[in-house]
Chains A and B, each alone.
Chain A
C-alpha cells in the first residue's frame, strides 16, 4: 500500500493552506455585502478570511478579492491519473514523419454529434486558427481534415468515414444535459462496430465533460478534456497510428 501523502495549498509556508479567491455577489456594495462574502468563504471551509478588496460593480453587484486558509487536504498517493501517453513533437516534425511513414496525409473526420450545436471545441482542434496560439489540424500537412460541424447524426458521420476512407474520427460533445453525450458517444461506437469500421479507425472523443478514462470506458481510443491543444491531439493521432500500423 502506498504511504499517504497529504497536501494542502501553499502560500509561503508548507501546509499553510492559503488560497486566493475572487467572485461577485449580487448584493449592493456595502457592509452587508462584505459580511455576506466573508460568510460565503467560511461556508466553503476557509478560516482567517480576509477581504483584500471589495469594489462596487453598480446595479446591485459587488466584486471581492479574498484570501483564506483551509484545512482541507488531499491524499495524492490515492490519485491515479489516466491520460494518453504522448511525446510532444513540433508540427514540422509531425508533418515530416507522416510524409515519410504514411506517404500520404492522415484523413481525419470530425463532428459534433447528436443535439449538440457547439463547434467551439471541435473548431479549436481542427480549424487553421487553433487554440492558445497552437495551430489546428487543418494547418498540418500531415492531415486532411473533414470538419462536418455541429448536430451531425452519428449515421451521417459513419457514412462520411466510409466515403473519405478516414483514419481518424474526432467527436466533440460540449453542451449536454442529463448525460446525453454518453448516449450519443455509445450510439456512434455501436454504429462503427456494426459497419465493421471500428478496428481500422482511431476514434477520439473530446469536450469539457470528457476524460480519457471515460472515453476508454466507452470503447474510444482516447478522450481529451478542456484546455487540450491541437498539437496534443495531433501528436496522439500520429504516434498511435504509427504504433498500430507497425510503421
Chain B
C-alpha cells in the first residue's frame, strides 16, 4: 500500500538530526561512564541466572547485586566477580549465585588466572549471545511461515491481572482480527526495582511482566497465529526501573515489541534521569540484537500538554529517541517511534491538524514502523462520540500509512476494556482499514496547502526546541520542564541509588560483545 507524501524542508530535517545527534552524544558520554543495578542484573540473567530466594521470592539476581554492593564490589560490575568465582569453585554461574544466597562470600576467594578467565568469559558470552540469536531466528522463521498481516497492524491490550485470563482474551482478540497483543503491566510495576517471578494471577490494572508470563502468552499467541494463518506479535513494557532485565527476558522468550522510551520513565514515573538513560542504552542493545522493535512513548506528552501547541515536542523527542536508538545499534525498521491522535475534537479542522502531524511523523521517519496512539485525553463517558473519534483516528492512520495502530477503545477513561470493547474496536478498524485499503495511493496533498505548511511549521518549532536543548544540555532541558510540561531534577527521582560510576576494574563482556556485533562503539 502506498502513502501520500508531503514536502519537508530537507535542510531543516538534516539540521534537526544533527542537533539531536549532538544532544545525545553529550548524554551518551555520561551513560558510558555509568552502570546500574538493573544493568548488572540483566548481565547475570544473560549468563543464565534465574530463580528466586526464600519465601519473599526475592529474585536471585537481586540478592547477588545486594551482596556485591554490601561488599563494595559493585564498581567492577557483576560479571567479573561472579564468573571468577565460577572458575575457582568449578561451578556454573547459577550455582555460584545460589551459593552467594546461601552465604558464600566472594571476598574470600582467590582470583583465577587472567588467561583462564578470559577464555571462560568468552565461552559464556558466546553462549549468551547465541541464545538470543537462536530465539530471534526462530521468530523470523515463524514470521516467514505464517506471513505478515497488512499494515497498520491492529494492536490491542489485555489487562486482567491474571495471565491465564489474559490468554483467553488475547486469543479471542486474535480470532476477531488483532495482529498485536500487549499485556499491560500491573500498576506501578515500573517502580519495582526487581522483576517478579513465575506465572501470576493477581495484579491491578494489568498483569505483572514476568518471564513465565511472557512464555505463557507467547505459546498461546503462536498457537492462535497458526489457527488464523498470520503472524501475531507480542508486546510488553521495558520501561521503569528494570528496562534492561525486561529486555533480556523478552529476548529469551521471543517477544516482538517492547515499549522502550529514553525519557518516559523520567517524565512520567519520576525515575532518575541518569538511571533511565543508562538503562535505556543497555535495553536497546539487547533489543537491537534480538530483533525486537521498540515503541517510544511520545504520545504521552500530548496527554499532559496541548496537542497543537506542543506538537513540536513530540517531533523533538522522536528525533532524540531516534539518535539514542542509533547509538544502541537499532535499525530504522526496529524504531517504532510514537505519536498520537490527541487534538481537542471541538477544534475546527482538528482532522487537518491530525493529518498534518501524522504525515510529519511518516515523512521524517519513512522507514520506521511508527506507532500511532488513539485519542484518550478527550475521551469522555460518551462512548458513542468516542467511537466516532476512533473511526477518524483509524481513517487518518490508514490514509497516511502508519504502521502500528493501537486501537482506540470506546470506554477509554471509564474502565479497563471489557471483552466486547476490544471487539468493537476491531470491528471499527477492520471496517475502516478495509474500506480505505488503497486510499493512500490516491491522495495528493495540495503543495503549500494547510497540511504541508503545518507539518513544516511543527518541524521548525521542533528545531528551535532542539537548538535550545542542545545549548543547555538534555539534563537541564528536562529540569526546565521542556517535555510534557513536567520538571525533573537530575539529583532526584527513583532509582538514583542504583546508579554507580564504573570503576577502573569494571567489565561487562556481554555488553562489549553486543556493541561489537551491532557495530556500535568503534
Contacts and interface: CB of A to CB of B under 8 A. Distances in A.
B513 interface: no
Interface string B347-379: 000000000000000000000000000000110
A160 interface: no
B176 interface: yes
Contact of A57 (B176, B304, B485): B176
A128 interface: yes
A80 interface: no
Nearest to B486: A128
Interface centre among B171, B188, B304, B381 (most CB of A within 10 A): B304
Contact of A129 (B175, B304, B378): B304
Interface in B416-436: 418-420, 423
A150 to B, nearest CB: 8
Interface in A185-200: none
A133 B377 contact: yes
Contacts of B418: 24
A132 interface: yes
Q: Classify chain B's interface size.
A: 20 to 34
B101 interface: no
A58 B176 contact: yes
Given A57-B176, A128-B486, A175 B204 contact: yes
B175 A59 contact: yes
A132 B420 contact: no
A57 B423 contact: yes
Contacts of A59: 168, 171-172, 175
Interface string A125-156: 00111011100000100000000001000000
Contacts of B176: 57-58
A61 B380 contact: no
A57 B486 contact: no
B423 A63 contact: yes
Contacts of B470: none
Interface string B53-76: 000000000000000000000000
Interface string A41-61: 000000000000001011101
Given A58-B176, A133-B377, A118 B187 contact: yes
A117 B172 contact: no
Nearest to B487: A128
A120 B172 CA distance: 28
B378 A133 contact: yes
A207 to B, nearest CB: 15
- Contact residues of B: prevailing secondary structure: loop
Interface string B190-207: 000000000000001100
A22 interface: yes
A128 B485 contact: yes
B303 A57 contact: no
Nearest to A134: B377
Contacts of A227: 381
A93 to B, nearest CB: 19
Interface in A160-185: 175
A129 B486 CA distance: 10
B162 interface: no
Interface centre among A22, A23, A129, A150 (most CB of B within 10 A): A129
B508 to A, nearest CB: 34
B488 to A, nearest CB: 12
Interface residues of A, number: 22
A57 B172 contact: yes
B326 interface: no
B171 A129 contact: no
B450 to A, nearest CB: 24
Contacts of A120: 187, 205
A120 B418 CA distance: 19
B344 interface: yes
Interface in A11-34: 22-24
A51 to B, nearest CB: 14
Interface string A95-137: 0000000000000000000000110100000011101110000
A58 B205 CA distance: 24
B413 interface: yes
A58 B188 CA distance: 32
A228 to B, nearest CB: 13
A150 B377 CA distance: 24
A57 B413 contact: no
A62 B175 CA distance: 13
Nearest to A174: B204
Contact of B419 (A24, A150, A175): A24
A211 B205 CA distance: 24
A117 to B, nearest CB: 7
A128 B420 contact: no
Interface string B481-501: 000111000000000000000
Contact of B420 (A63, A133, A175): A63
Given A117-B188, A133-B344, A227-B381, A58 B204 contact: no
Nearest to B418: A24
Interface in B382-426: 413, 418-420, 423
26 contacts: A22-B420, A23-B420, A24-B418, A24-B420, A55-B423, A57-B419, A57-B420, A58-B171, A58-B176, A59-B168, A59-B171, A61-B172, A61-B419, A63-B419, A117-B188, A117-B204, A120-B187, A120-B205, A127-B304, A128-B304, A129-B303, A129-B304, A131-B413, A133-B377, A139-B485, A175-B204
| 10 nearest CB pairs, A to B | A58-B175, A63-B420, A129-B304, A59-B172, A58-B172, A24-B420, A133-B378, A128-B304, A24-B419, A133-B377
Given A22-B420, A57-B172, A131-B413, 16 more contacts: A24-B419, A24-B420, A55-B423, A57-B176, A58-B172, A59-B168, A61-B419, A63-B420, A118-B204, A128-B484, A129-B303, A129-B304, A133-B344, A150-B188, A175-B204, A227-B381
